[in-house]
Amino acid sequence: MPGLSARCALTRVPAQCRAWSRQLWGPQVLQHRPQCAGSAEAPATGTTTHEATAALQERLTNSDGATTSAAAPDSSDSAPPPKFLTRPGLRDARGALMLKNLTFCELESWCELVGERRQRARQLWRWLYADGALIHDISEATGVANGFSSAFLELFRQAHASIDGGMRLERVHRAADNTRKMVFRLTEGEGAGAAVEAVLIPIVRSGGARPRTTLCVSSQVGCGMNCQFCFTGRLGLCAQLSAAQIVEQMVEARRLVAEEAAVGAPDALAPVTNVVYMGMGEPLHNFDAVLASAAIATHELGLHFSANKVSVSTVGLVPQLRALVASSRCQLAVSLHATTDEVRNWLVPVNRRYPLAELLGALRELFPRSGGRFVLFEYVMLAGVNDSEEDAARFVALANDIECKVNLIIFNTHAGTRFKPSSADQVQRFRSALIQAGRVCTVRDSRGDDEMAACGQLGDVGAMGARAPVLRVPPRFQNALLAAAQG
C-alpha cells in the first residue's frame, strides 16, 4: 500500500537502531539521546532521563534478558527507515514528529522504536481521538485517571514528538440553514500561513429519522484540476495538506459539536457521523496523506467513523482510484459531470489525460453489477451544457454495467462564474430518466451557499488570487453561457 507500512509489527533489527533513531528522534536531540548498546561511539554529552535510557536499553534486550550486541557494520547507518517515515510532511518546522500523521499501526511501531511498549499506542490514540478526550497538548493527559506518567512525558519530549495538528481554527461562519464553515489557518507545512476550509452540514430527514451531521474536509489548499465551474479550482494548487492537517479538521469538528452540546445550544448540531473528502482539493492528487487520514478516521478505537460513511471523491485519476479501492473500504465517489469527451475535456480538463473510456473501463472492473460495492457518481447540473435528455440517455448507457448510485448536484453560483444552474424541472426530468433505468438517483440540496460554504464554493480567491486558466468554450455552448451571463 503506497506510503503506508504494510504490517503493524516491525522486525527488531538492532543493526538498524541508529539509522531509525536518527529519523525518529530528529537531528536537534540526537546528540542528547543514549547510544545504542554496544556501540563503538562514545556516549554524547548532554542530559536525558533515566527512564528514557532504560527504555532504549530494554529495546535492545532479548527476551531472555541478554543484551544484544550492536557491533553492526557501518552500513547500518544507511539502513532504510520504516516506510511510514518516508512520507513527506511528517515533521513540523522544529523537526518534531507530528503523531497525528501516523496510523495506529505506525504509532505502535513508533512506540517500539523509542523504547516504549506497543500498548502505549492504544493509550495515546484514545487521548488523541476518543470521544471526551481530543486533547490539544500531551500535558493535558498527565496527572489524571488513565493519563501519562511524568516519566513518559519526559521521554515524549526527548523523542521530539508532537500531537499538534498543524493548523488552528480561526473562525466559524454560520449560514442561515445552520451549516457551519470552519476556517483554519495552517501553521505548518508548505502551506503555512494559508487558509483552508471545512464544512459541517446538518442533515435532517423526514419521517422521524435521527438527525446527523456530515463533515466535508479539504485535502489541499486550492486545487490543480481546474474544473471550469468550481470556485476552488480558480485558485490552482497552492499546497498539499498533511495527514495530520486533514485529521485535525475532523478533531476540531468533533470538539465544536461537543462544546455546543455541553452548553445546551438551541441550534447545536447532531453528532458527526459522516465524512466526505469533497472540500478544497482533489483528494487522490494527495494520495498518501488522504489514505493515511482515512485509516485514522475509521479506526474503531479513536474517531471510529464507519468506512462506508467516509466518501473519497475524485475527478477521475485512474491509477490512484484503483489503488484506493484496493487499499481502503471507504466509499469512492467519481465526479463525472459530462457524458461526452468533448464536454468533459472542457469542464474537467483531467479528462484529456484519463478520458471517459479509460475511466469507465476501470470502474467496470472495480464495480461490476451485483458485485457488492458500488461507486457514487456526482454530476453537477449546468443549464444548457450537460442537462439535456440526450445527456441523461448517454449517462444511462455509460453506467449500464457499473454498480453505482448517482448524486445530482445543484450548481452553486459564485462571483465570476460563466455557468447557470439547471432549472428545478430540468433536474427532475434528468433524475426521472435515471430512475426509470433502474438507478438510485438523489439530488444534493444546496447547503450554506449564503456563506460560500456550499459545494464548489470553498476558498478565498480574493486573498490568494486566481491562478488557473479559463479554457476556451466549445462553440456550440457559447449561446448557453451567453444566456447565463444575461440571466
CA 271 to chain centre: 19
Residue 6 covered by a domain? no
Q: Between the CA of residue 238 and those of 224, 231, 321, 458, 461, what are the distances in Å?
A: 8, 14, 22, 14, 12
Phi/psi of residue 23, nearest 5 degrees:
-70, -40
395 and 266, same domain (yes or no): yes
Q: Note if 41 is an active site residue.
A: no
Q: Note if 404 is an active site residue.
A: no
- Of 98, 132, 162, which residue sits at a domain end? 162
183 and 66, same domain (yes or no): no
Residue 110 covered by a domain? yes
- Of 139, 162, 185, which residue sits at a domain end? 162
- Of 162, 180, 202, which residue sits at a domain end? 162
> Which is the catalytic residue, given 106, 188, 197, 378?
197
240 and 345, same domain (yes or no): yes
76 and 220, same domain (yes or no): no
Which domain covers residue 180, as residue numbers? 167-486
121 and 194, same domain (yes or no): no
187 and 236, same domain (yes or no): yes
Which residues neighbour 457 within 8 Å (Cβ) at sequence distance 6 or greater?
231, 232, 412, 414, 449
Split into its structural domains, the chain has a count of 2
- Residues 13-57: tens digit of each pLDDT: 333 434 444 444 444 333 333 333 333 333 333 333 344 434 443
Nearest partner of 382 among 428, 356, 418, judged by Cα: 418
137 and 172, same domain (yes or no): no
172 and 122, same domain (yes or no): no
Return the amino acid letter for 229. Answer: F
For position 426, which CATH number holds? 3.20.20.70
Per-residue pLDDT in tens (0 to 9) along the chain, 487 residues: 444 443 343 333 333 434 444 444 444 333 333 333 333 333 333 333 344 434 443 443 333 333 333 333 344 455 677 888 888 889 999 999 999 999 999 999 999 999 999 999 999 999 999 998 999 999 999 989 999 999 999 999 999 999 999 999 999 999 888 999 999 999 999 999 999 999 999 988 766 678 899 999 999 999 999 999 998 888 899 999 999 999 999 999 999 999 999 999 888 999 999 999 999 999 999 999 999 999 999 999 999 999 999 999 999 999 999 999 999 999 999 999 999 999 999 999 999 999 999 999 999 999 999 878 999 999 999 999 999 999 999 999 999 999 999 999 999 888 778 899 999 999 999 999 999 999 999 998 766 554 554 555 566 656 555 678 889 999 889 888 887 777 6
